[in-house]
Structure formats: structure tokens, C-alpha cells
Amino acid sequence: MAQQSLYIGNKIKRLRQNNNINQKTLAHELGISPSYLNLIERNRRGLTVNLLLRLSEIFNLDIAELSHSADSQMTSDLMELFDSDIFSDFNITNQDIQDLSAENPEVGKAFIRLFDKYKMGIKQYQKIVQKLPKAELVSENSANKPVNIPYEDSENVEYMSEIISDFIQNSANYFPSLEQAAERVRMDIDLTGETLFQGLKTFAINSFAMRVVIAELPNDESYIFDKQLGILTISSFSDAESRAFCLAEHVGLYAAKHQIDDIIEQADFEQERLNDYLERVLARYFAACILMPYDVFLAKARETRYDIDLLCHYFSVSFEQACHRLTSLQKPGAKAVPFHFVRTDIAGHISKRFSLSGIKIPRYGTACPRWNIYAAFMQPGRINIQMSETPDGQIYFCIARTITKGVRKFGKPLRHFSIGLGVKYMHAKSMVYSDGVDLKDISQIVRIGATCPICQRYNCNEHDKH
């Protein structure tokens, strides 16, 4: 274990507080003095292997899970943040950033939140300036006029997505109360002679008086939900997987309302729009539980060695839905291998990211152009396999494949994305995609970075700065 991995005082403090254990009690259990434990929690002292083993027993956690630094992704995010031009006058080193993450993680989180808002404001301002007439821009009095920047929903959604992504990451993308609520609903659905969609449709009207209609919608919307009338209209252009997922999501708003409200309360967001956004995300989590019930899905995933296409076939779900569900299989005592998941568009913009494998996924900008999530666009619809080595020496086994979304009719552009899924090298053989790959052949390893502006690889020709 690297030295940095053993300085996890903030994680120990959180575990202790979450389990309502005071410092004196935990110190006694560890066989050390309370003052020494205080130094460990403040990252003034590192953990010995014996203390790490004892902590794993006390909190019933795997050593790997406990020793992994929960702040490694935050450190990567902060490195991206401080690489911005607005900090160019400050001599901030990577060591300074690592110290901030280790010793003052809450301050680090506050920096990231503030910078997210700053970037959102800049984008809003740029859009407004582009819409202003040129004559108004050069007017003598224009500088003294107050500029009313309207609410830009698209930018706000991007900002909210980052905040919710942080919450999902901190929760390990596992919500047991929603898993249990979905299991109860599955037991109440009559699937005799019916598809899951039909069973859900019958359950929705019988339990919540919610009617479901399939029809062509204006502006190519995927669905419209009239909450007052209790009518869910799903686009007739959507495929079977999308229809079932959409219906399960809206059933979740009723069937798992109490569980969703409890999680939102625990998240403690001040902005109501963030709570609304989180409600949608949690309803989609519930939908995934309905379509891919935990125990059955995990068993089939292990049986097929995480063959995504087979899982799509067995559970009638899309490639993205199956990959996303694999990242949530974190029930204590029944876990899947720890995956990372990323979705990017053809321009390189990362719209979804989650990492249990430990790989650092950029928060701002694009990922390394050498990563196979981009190479996948060169072979649409095919699985692209890569062994990737990051600058910290860690090796990951990654797969990527493109997907297409949108209404398939003349004059309507489709949206193209790349879905990336991967694990640490030690778990590569767990995936069927490693068959036929010589995992010992180091010549096949592709050395990737984080994002170009902060990349430490100076022998790379992918970016001008190298």
C-alpha cells in the first residue's frame, strides 16, 4: 500500500462518527491512546498494517475498501481546478493540493462547489453576450447598465449533475432502502402471461391510478407526465427498453416515495432544484432495481462473467442500463467487482462518471485522448478493449462501446455516446472480455493520463504542451 493510502484520517473519523463511537472508545478498541488516534484522524500520523487490520474488523470492511483513499478523486478534481488560468499567479503545487485533500477535505469540497458555480456563471455570461447586438456592446453607457442574466437551465443542469454525481460517489452508488422497495413491488406485480411492462402498467393503475399511454409526442420528447391527472404518455418512437425503464421510474416516484424522501433529507441540499434533480436520479435507480433485481442480476452477471450483451438479452435492458446497474451492486457480503463507469459524447464532454475501481475521471474538460472511450467512436457498436496504465502506476482493464440515442426519422439528428466500463487489472479475468487477451503482455498496455492540462506524461504527442 502506498504511503498516501495509509493517511486516511478523514475516512476513519467519518466511520467513527457514523457509528456513534467516540475517540476514547475507538482508541481503546485499537489499543492506542486517544491522543494518538486524534493525530491519526488529523493525518499527522499514518496507519500501521496492524491498526488497519483492526479497523477493518471493527467496522466490518474489506481492507482494500478501507485503505483506499476516498479523497483521491477529489485530489484529481482539485488539480484540474487549480490548473485554471485564474490561479496562474499562485504557486500552488500538487503536494499543496494533496495536503488540502488529506487535512481539510471539507475545504476542498467547498472549493470545487464554488468553482462549479463560477464555471456555470461564465458560460451563462458568454451566452448572453453572444445574443447582445454589437451596437449595444460598444455603447458608452453600456458598461454602467445592469446586465440581467436569465436562468439558463442547460447550464444549471450541468452544475446540478456534478453535485449529484458527488453525492452518488460518496454513497458508493448503493441505496439499500430503494433495493428493498423495488423487491416488494416486484413481488406485487403479476407477471403471469405478461411482460414486465404490462405487469408494471397494471400495477400502476391499480395501486396509484396512474394511466400509461403510448403516443407520438411533440418536439420529439421521450415522455410527458401529467402529475395532476396521473397520466404518463410515453413516446411511440422509444424502444421497448426505454418504455419499461420510463414506466418503472415513474412508479418509483409513488412506490418508493418515503425512501426517496429520506435519502434526499440525508443529502441535506439547500437548493430545492437540487432536491428535485436528486429525486429523478433516485427514481431511476429504483427503475434499475425493478428491471434488474439485485440477487438475480448479480448471479447472472457472475455466471456470464459480466457479458453485457447477454445481460441485456436476459433482462431486456439497454447496454447503458446494464453497465450502470453493475456499478450499484455493492450490497455487503454480495458485491460485484468494483467497476468504474463513464459516458462521453462525440465532442469529448463527459456527462456521467462514477468510479469504484479507483481510476480518476476528469471533472472539467475531456479525458485523455488515448483512453478507449474515444477510440470506440472509430468502430461504432463494437466492444473496444484496452489495458490502461495511469500515471500513478495503476493498470485497469477497460471496455468501451458506442450507443445511439434519438428519434430515427429524416431530418432529426441522432446523439452518439461512448460508454466506458472498467476494473482494476487484478479483476480483469472476472470479465469475459479478457478471453483471448494476453494480460501479461506489457506491450499491450496503453499509458493514459487524466486530462491534458494536468497530465504528467511529457513523452506524449497527443497534446501540444508535451
DSSP 181-236: HHHHHHHHS--TTS-HHHHHHHHHHHHH--EEEEE--GGG-SEEEETTTTEEEEET
Residue 307 in any domain: the answer is no
C-alpha separations of 415 from 56, 346, 351, 377 in Å: 45, 9, 13, 12
H helical segments located in 256-330: 257-267, 272-291, 294-303, 308-315, 319-326
* Cα separation, 424 vs 360, whole angstroms: 12
How do beta strands 340-345 and 350-355 pair? Answer: antiparallel
Is residue 411 in a domain?
yes
pLDDT number for residue 318: 95
Answer yes or no: do 449 and 418 share one domain.
yes
Q: Computed from CA positions of residues 122, 123, 124, 130, in that sequence, does the dihedral angle turn out positive or negative?
A: positive
Q: For residue 246, tell me if it sits in a domain.
A: yes
Tell whether 65 and 80 lie within a shared domain. no
> Strands 445-447 and 384-389: what pairing?
parallel
> Which residues, listed in sequence order, are joined to residue 331 by a DSSP beta bridge?
334
Together in a domain, 450 and 339: yes
- At residue 132, the pLDDT reads 58
What CATH number does residue 41 fall under?
A: 1.10.260.40
**pLDDT at residue 288, as a whole number:** 97
Asked if 354 and 327 touch (Cβ cutoff 8 Å), the reply is yes
All three cell numbers of 41, joined, read 484522524
Helix and strand numbers, DSSP H then E, in the chain: 19, 11
Is residue 111 domain-shared with residue 199, that is, in the same domain? no
Distances (CA, A) of 411 to 215, 220, 304, 462: 20, 12, 40, 35
Shared domain for 425 and 353, answered yes or no, is yes
Asked if residue 76 lies in contact with residue 359, where contact means CB atoms within 8 angstroms, the answer is no
Same domain, 53 and 121: no
Question: Does residue 55 sit in helix, strand or coil?
Answer: helix
Pairing type for strands 231-235 and 223-226 reads antiparallel
Residue 86 and residue 58 share a domain: no
Residue 126 identity (one-letter amino acid) = Q
Cα(289)–Cα(273) distance, rounded to whole angstroms? 25
Tell whether 330 is covered by a domain.
Answer: no
The CATH number of whichever domain residue 440 belongs to comes to 3.30.450
Domain boundary among 130, 145, 168: 130
Residue 248, domain extent: 176-210+240-291
pTM, rounded to two decimals: 0.75
pLDDT in tens, the chain (466 residues): 333 446 677 778 878 887 889 999 999 999 999 999 988 887 778 788 888 889 988 988 777 666 655 467 788 788 888 887 788 778 888 778 877 776 677 788 888 888 888 877 777 666 666 665 544 444 444 444 433 434 445 556 777 888 898 899 888 899 999 999 999 999 999 777 778 999 999 999 999 999 999 999 888 889 999 988 999 999 999 999 999 999 999 999 999 999 999 999 999 887 888 899 999 999 999 999 999 999 999 999 999 999 999 999 999 999 999 999 999 999 989 999 999 999 999 988 888 999 999 888 888 777 888 999 999 999 999 999 999 998 888 899 999 999 998 877 777 788 999 999 999 999 999 999 999 899 999 899 999 987 776 676 666 765 544 4
pLDDT score recorded for residue 314: 96
Nearest residue to 277 (alpha-carbon basis) of 420, 123, 405, 166:
166
Residues in the chain: 466
Query: How is the chain split among helix, strand and coil, in percent rounded to 5?
Result: 55, 15, 35
SS3 344: strand
Q: Are residues 181 and 282 in the same domain?
A: yes
For 33, the grid coordinates are 491512546
The answer to whether residues 32 and 124 belong to one domain is no
In a domain, 90, yes or no: yes
Q: Report yes or no on 301 lying in a domain.
A: no
Q: Is 78 in contact with 97 (CB distance < 8 Å)?
A: yes
Tell me if residue 441 falls in helix, strand or coil.
coil
User: Do 355 and 419 belong to one domain?
Assistant: yes
Asked if residue 200 and residue 270 are part of one domain, the reply reads yes
CA distance 122 to 124: 5
125 and 102 together in one domain: yes
Residue 268 in any domain: the answer is yes
Q: Is residue 249 part of a domain?
A: yes
In the chain, what is the straight-line distance between the N-terminal and C-terminal CA atoms, in Å? 31
**Overall domain count for the chain:** 4
